[in-house]
């Protein structure tokens, strides 16, 4: 067995060991708002529930390892003392992942991820309409665990109202775990689907994905593409060029003779097939043809 003292490891390597070994971890999809009313949305897997009376949840946005800066979520809760914690199910996991991209201050991750802002009843931050369970919370305290990169900040939240989609409830009014279909975080790019096991999602581009807000309308409003499909399509640095689309369509024509006359719906179905194999670039070329 290989053994280490934490101080003998770089913070990034220790971070990797901790996150890979302590898994799977539930995800707090935290919606906050700054003092000027600008929304922010970001996932955190240092998270759990710690009390039912009072109902207390704690999540921890860590200081960035690479440059020791803090995240907008932490800055917002320190300013406003409010947060909405949304749970993440499999149907929205790609959109959740995209929202973790470090977009500049002022960029709305709801728009980038294609998720819907839903007004809360008590607190100011928006809920994620697609989340099957949403917790409106007041922040009771923020406990800083250190001042160096990688240090956590325990945000102690008291639930003041919870919202549950009736579709995930059983006949007794309790949550059915199979219907809820939660996902959890593991190390690297791995997640686990509570009812099925591990699967993998590529990390959002460090160069910033284009976001759902930059999609053509027929793609953004597709009746065929799912939220996960939109999340995959949004995590691309730039759309394919007109020339690359033209060449792709010409090559594809040998196998799919009607591609040039296909309807949007037909193209969206074909693009979904490519997305099922992780081929985002080809999917985009079909959608743009």
Encode the chain (289 residues) as per-residue pLDDT tens digits: 999 999 999 999 999 999 999 999 999 999 999 999 999 999 999 999 999 999 999 999 999 888 888 899 999 999 999 999 999 999 999 999 999 998 888 899 999 999 999 999 999 999 999 999 999 999 999 999 999 988 999 999 999 999 999 999 999 999 999 999 999 999 999 999 988 887 878 777 777 899 999 999 999 999 999 999 999 999 999 999 999 998 988 887 766 667 778 899 999 999 999 999 999 999 999 999 8
Cα(195)–Cα(87) distance, rounded to whole angstroms?
15
Cα(141)–Cα(149) distance, rounded to whole angstroms?
21
The DSSP symbol for 2 reads -
| Average pLDDT value for the chain | 93
Phi, psi of 171 (to 5 degrees): -65, -20
CATH number for 6-196: choose from 3.10.450.50, 3.40.605.10, 3.40.50.720, 2.30.110.10. Answer: 2.30.110.10
Q: What are the residue ranges spanned by the domains of the chain?
A: 6-196, 212-288
Element (DSSP H or E) covering residue 51 = strand 47-52
Q: Tell me how crowded residue 20 is: count the other CB atoms within 10 A of its CB.
A: 12
Cα(10)–Cα(44) distance, rounded to whole angstroms?
22
Look at strands 133-144 and 82-86 and give their pairing. Answer: antiparallel
Quick one: three-class SS letters along 224-275? Answer: CCCHHHHHHHHCCCCCCCHHHHHHHHHHHHCCCCCHHHCCHHHHHHHHHHHH
Tell me the CA distances in angstroms from 261 to 78, 133, 242, 253, 275, one per residue in order. Answer: 55, 43, 17, 11, 21
Cα(235)–Cα(105) distance, rounded to whole angstroms?
19
Query: pLDDT digit string (tens) for 105-159?
Result: 889 999 999 999 999 999 999 999 999 999 999 999 999 999 998 899 999 999 9
Structure tokens, 49: 């529930």
Q: Model pTM?
A: 0.87
Structure tokens, 147: 């001042």
Q: What is the pLDDT of residue 257?
A: 66
Cα(238)–Cα(253) distance, rounded to whole angstroms?
24
Longest dimension (CA), the chain: 65
CA 66 to chain centre: 21
């Amino acid at each position: 067995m290989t053994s280490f003292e934490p101080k003998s490891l770089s913070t990034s390597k220790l971070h990797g060991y901790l996150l890979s070994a302590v898994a799977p971890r539930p995800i707090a999809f935290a919606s906050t708002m700054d003092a000027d009313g600008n929304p922010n949305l970001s996932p955190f897997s240092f998270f759990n529930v710690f009390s039912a009376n009072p109902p207390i949840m704690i999540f921890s946005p860590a200081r960035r390892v690479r440059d020791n800066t803090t995240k907008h979520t932490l800055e917002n809760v320190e300013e406003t003392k409010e947060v909405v914690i949304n749970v993440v199910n499999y149907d929205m996991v790609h959109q959740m992942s995209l929202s973790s991209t470090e977009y500049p201050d002022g960029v709305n991750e709801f728009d980038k991820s294609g998720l819907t802002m839903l007004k809360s009843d008590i607190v100011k931050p928006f809920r994620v309409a697609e989340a099957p369970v949403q917790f409106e919370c007041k922040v009771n305290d923020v406990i800083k665990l250190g001042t160096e990169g990688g240090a956590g900040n325990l945000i102690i939240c008291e639930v003041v109202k919870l919202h549950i989609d009736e579709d995930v409830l059983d006949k007794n009014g309790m949550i059915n775990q199979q219907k809820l279909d939660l996902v959890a975080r593991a190390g690297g790019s791995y997640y686990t689907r509570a009812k099925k096991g591990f699967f993998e999602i590529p990390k959002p581009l460090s160069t910033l994905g284009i976001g759902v807000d930059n999609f053509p309308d027929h793609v953004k409003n597709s009746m065929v593409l799912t939220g996960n499909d939109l999340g995959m399509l949004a995590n691309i640095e730039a759309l394919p060029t007109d020339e690359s689309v033209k060449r792709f369509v010409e090559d594809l024509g040998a196998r799919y003779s009607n591609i040039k006359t296909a309807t949007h719906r037909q193209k969206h179905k074909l693009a979904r097939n490519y997305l099922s194999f992780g081929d985002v670039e080809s999917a985009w070329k079909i959608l743009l043809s």
